[in-house]
Structure 1
Amino acid sequence: MADLLRFATAGSVDDGKSTLIGRLLFDSKGLFTDQLEDVERISKRRGNDYVDLSLLTDGLRAEREQGITIDVAYRYFATPRRKFIIADTPGHVQYTRNMVTGASTADVALILIDARHGVTEQSRRHAFLATLLGVSHIVLCVNKMDLVQWSQDRFDEICDEFREFAAKLTIRDLTFIPVSALLGDNVVERSANTPWFAGATLLSYLENVHVGSDRNLVDVRFPVQYVIRPQTASHPDYRGYAGMLASGIVRVGDPVRVLPSGLETTVTAIDGPDGPLTEAFPPMSVTIRLEEDIDISRGDMLVRPRNVPHSSQDIEAMVCWMDDSAELVPGKKYALKHTTKWARMVVREIEYRVDVNTLHRDLDASSLGLNEIGRVRLRSTVPLFCDPYTENRATGSFIIVDEQTNNTVGAGMILRR
């Protein structure tokens, strides 16, 4: 069975993100006939002498009118080797929060660069955000190579400049591919225009990149979402704990500890959507049954007895602020959702704000505005069972909610203590 890869695209305005995704869908035959006919009709209406494949992802009317990506557009396609979910994220600086949303679950980030313009501030910002969000694999797609006459020197110059900046970040896997999204060179099929390029095409890379080892299979973390007690004649004593396994591998017979009570018991059964299982791994959604009848409720967590997350009310995190009506300031109170647990919190201190273009730290920052990112100290009303975000995306992240409007106003990534 083909596995699933999530990837996000990022880049400056007009770098060709939406066109690249459209080319992937078109050349891999991931389009329905009516979708292609709709794009052809709109392209002709605009007076284009070519099929504008960017229209496949710029679905909002405002995006098509302005020729930019505003919201995060998600698309699905599959090849015989793999299934894909694409997040086409905005390039504008004022939509940083949208990029954070789109890239937060990605395995791979595709950063597009216009070969004519080279590495820009937005290119550096997108690379920083991708690494901040824990994306392990970054592909630099140097697009519009046809407009620089397929120059190897220009391609090498851009790669060297980006590598110099990337040395300041923590990037585990960095790949460079010269492409023309409009013409399809090196997207699905290898281009005859780049005989000097010996690497894989973009689709070949996406089909073969190994992401299984990126997932944390060591630290068992099972946040309880729901307690299932059907109380039917066929299952009078059934009690199961449903949720999505955040990390680790759980097997029938494994000992587990329940947090926050600290009580220990054994897994007696694991039920999946299609019936009983002998084991579960992330990100499977399952129901776990236990040997002991323990008081467990939503927000509790099952872990290994000798491998427990950090428990604390004092949290240090990198926070991306998403509220356009009010700033994040010390002393303000919010609701916080971490895994399946809700708590109230207060902002204690803003240690610094990061300039995402230069990586400069503003130690005198007194607030965080819309799309700004900073290191923040928080205190919650109850202890949170958390890991550093670099080790576990699920237990290392949280969202901040305004209790008056119920809007999500921030996203946080917990730092190592």
Structure 2
Amino acid sequence: MKFLLPIFLFLGIFGGLSDDGPNENFDKEMTQLEPDSVEAIIAEHFVQSFSFGAAGDVLIHDHLYEDVKTEDGYDFVSRVEEVSPYLQKQDLVFLNQETPIGGEALGLSGYPNFNSPIEAADLLEAFGTDIVSNANNHTLDKKEAGILRTIDVFEERGIEYVGANKSAADAERDRILEVNGIKVGFVGYTYGTNGMPIPEGKDYLVNLIDSSPVYEDIEALDKKVDLLVVSMHQGVEYEEYPREEHRQQALEMTERGADVVLGHHPHVLQPIEINETEDGREAVIAHSLGNFFSAQQSLETKLGGIIGFDVKKQAGETSVDNVRFMPTYVSSQEYDNFQLVPLADAENYGLEDADLVYEDVSTHMTEYSDQVEIMEYLE
């Protein structure tokens, strides 16, 4: 992520510069300005902005890590080189890390109790990931030790996380990233942990939807940030549309202050919705971003994508503009040679009727809103 300080040019606001040297009156007026006045001028006259990119489930099955195993470890990065540049060019990148990253010390494993090689974090770095959700139904697959080791890995790589925590204090910590002078807050939750019990007295380990004050959390963090992103891990697996109760919940979140809701868990794509809230904002809801990189084999579970949009702030108001979606596809020969590629290129990787699949995905993802632009390659 490019954490750039805004650069503001004041020439001409209080008087110009002469051709033969600095204008003394201009210099004098600038030095007499109070800091609050400078901030007010910046807020009123200058636009701050950044680009945001997000994708769905990074779901490391045993077939996947076995396929990328080398003599030196696990080479995930070479399998995503066709897609990673489209995320790397975004200023802020969010992903759903679906599986614990505990490494061989905790025993590598696939479904139903996942644990990924440490090199799975190389994959996140290759995507330019700034923050991940680690709240999902597999968060406790390796129990508390898996959560703690995964968080260690994130911290070693400089990747922020939201939804699962290492302590009570960590759970209380606001997740706020500042990008080009714009403060972005994140909250994240999961419907459950596949029946894995949370250790007694350690409810902080993972944020459960039913036992968390979700709306209150949103309202509280909204007061501290310019943009608020909510990650929700819930829904029904393999259903192509959200349940109405979940859709209404997402809409209510936007009314409470959320600007973006990113949905995970169904492992298939669900439409993107743009809600015009009562206070006049246009909030983005991606009900399910599907699988991004996994070993699931049905066509629907091989399809995913990157949602992108521009965030702009001017005169104290923040907006989300130019919502776009780039479909992706995980190519494989049965359980070998996994490659993440743009869906627009999938014919070159053996997908039959790739043009029709692309057309179907485009139609599906825009069913709830015609303001979403489907792009072959994300800008």
Q: Normalising by the residue count of structure 2, what TM-score does the alignment of the two structures yield?
A: 0.31
Specify which structure has the bigger relative contact order, considering alpha-carbon pairs within 8 angstroms and separated by 6 or more residues.
2
Name the TM-score, length of structure 1 as normaliser: 0.29
Which structure dedicates a bigger proportion of its chain to strand?
1
Structure with greater helix percent: 2
